Chains A and B, each alone.
Chain A
């Protein structure tokens, strides 16, 4: 029971953090997707894709609702990134060192850039202007996205690791 409420509180906290703190304080639209995708990648690395899937879907859907976006879009990108992490980590990355952080950060950055493009496609369907959308893409913007991805993953993965330890403590048999 305690574990359930701790999970529920964490999901709500993440969504409120995005909608009522990051989106209000930051002039950038990339911060909250970067944080959410970092959580999905960190969960996929710590639990494995299949075990992390339900949690990633729930967090993504609640985040979509809280941040007034298309319901399912953030969740779909979170799932896609979690799968990509699982797929690549077995083939190219060993352990959880610096390379994992850099690789995960770059993956998150790419996910954020793709998410922004696809969300534009969803919101302006029918009047989408390819040249204008890609005119907004520059090396400066792209590099910022990757830097944010790396920094975000470094901060979020430590928090997720702490939360996972606490959760496993709460789920210890015989703990009342």
Chain B
């Protein structure tokens, strides 16, 4: 035994500090977390913008260097794919008008016209290092909790869940704490879209009687939240029964590479219809 007694030993100090830290992590009081993150990401936002600018530049340079050797092969592949897509495009032109009018009639078209606020990712982290991102717009620019963050022509990537003066935190749809109402295009099967530990997206609580198949596109239903309907979430990649066999569930493959997010668009309140 330590001659100074247990209260002075390294083990005792380590146990006390560990208990306090793990207790705080388990408790995780929301106001303290929001205050701490808000202070950090407001005070150091300029440094974060500088660091993220450098890291995106570094990533682009690395990707360019690694792709140089593949350019010839890639060019040949793209030429072939271009010809195939031209043929496919001509074939789809016949059915496009009919398909669009059908989707509009049931209110399920992937929406393309919103009042958008452009923003840039300056940090990421959370679950698996990819559960959330910090963006360079905050309450001073009109950002509010619940705003949907999209890329491209209406592909949902996340929802604003904390707002700071000059920045905000977006919980990505891959985050386990993210839950949204979803619906499949074409057959209208409704369910709940949840993040899967920062790694993927799952689609659950779909009734056994509702059709759900690989290749179905899933969009937001707009039910029970601030996210508008008709935002694309992804394509069903595999279907299975839930553990209790009461529902069907699926994995959704998003068209977005969440590891390469840089520019996002927030959908402001008062959406253009």
Q: Give A contacts to B, CB under 8 Å.
A: 12, 15-21, 23-25, 27-29, 32, 49-50, 53, 57, 60, 62, 65-73, 75-76, 79-80, 83, 86-87, 116, 119-120, 122-124, 127
Report the Cα distance A59→B169, complex, angstroms: 21
0/1 per residue, B32-53, Cβ < 8 Å to A? 1100110011001001100110
Instruction: Kindly state whether residue B176 has any CB partner on chain A within 8 Å.
Output: yes
Q: Contacts A75-B21, A79-B17, A79-B21: A19 and B124 contacting too (C-beta < 8 A)?
A: yes
Report yes or no: A68 in contact with B55, Cβ–Cβ below 8 A. no
0/1 per residue, B95-126, Cβ < 8 Å to A? 00000000000000000000000000111111
Report yes or no: A80 in contact with B14, Cβ–Cβ below 8 A. yes
Contacts of B24 in A (CB 8 A): 71-72
Report the Cα distance A176→B21, complex, angstroms: 37
Report yes or no: A24 in contact with B123, Cβ–Cβ below 8 A. yes
Q: Contacts A79-B14, A79-B18: A71 and B54 contacting too (C-beta < 8 A)?
A: no
Q: A57-B17, A72-B20, A73-B21 are in contact. List 17 more A-B contacts (CB 8 A).
A: A12-B44, A16-B51, A23-B125, A24-B121, A24-B124, A25-B58, A29-B130, A32-B129, A53-B14, A57-B21, A65-B40, A67-B125, A71-B33, A79-B21, A116-B128, A122-B26, A123-B131
CB contact between B123 and one of A19, A49, A116, A124 (< 8 Å): that residue: A19
> Could you tell me how many residues of chain B have their Cβ less than 8 Å away from some Cβ of chain A?
50
Would you give 8 A-B contacts (Cβ < 8 Å), ordered by A? A23-B123, A23-B125, A29-B198, A49-B10, A65-B36, A67-B123, A73-B21, A123-B176
Report yes or no: A20 in contact with B122, Cβ–Cβ below 8 A. yes
Where chain B touches its partner, the secondary structure class is helix
Report the Cα distance A87→B13, complex, angstroms: 13
Report yes or no: A76 in contact with B18, Cβ–Cβ below 8 A. yes
CB contact between A24 and one of B26, B59, B126 (< 8 Å): that residue: B59
Report yes or no: A66 in contact with B40, Cβ–Cβ below 8 A. yes
Report the Cα distance A54→B117, complex, angstroms: 42
0/1 per residue, B247-273, Cβ < 8 Å to A? 000000000000100000000000000
Report the Cα distance A24→B131, complex, angstroms: 12
Contacts of A25 in B (CB 8 A): 55, 58-59, 62
Report the Cα distance A87→B54, complex, angstroms: 39
Report yes or no: B176 in contact with A24, Cβ–Cβ below 8 A. no
Instruction: Kindly state whether residue B241 has any CB partner on chain A within 8 Å.
Output: no
Chain A residue at minimum C-beta to C-beta distance from B35 = A65
Report yes or no: A70 in contact with B197, Cβ–Cβ below 8 A. no
Contacts of B58 in A (CB 8 A): 21, 25
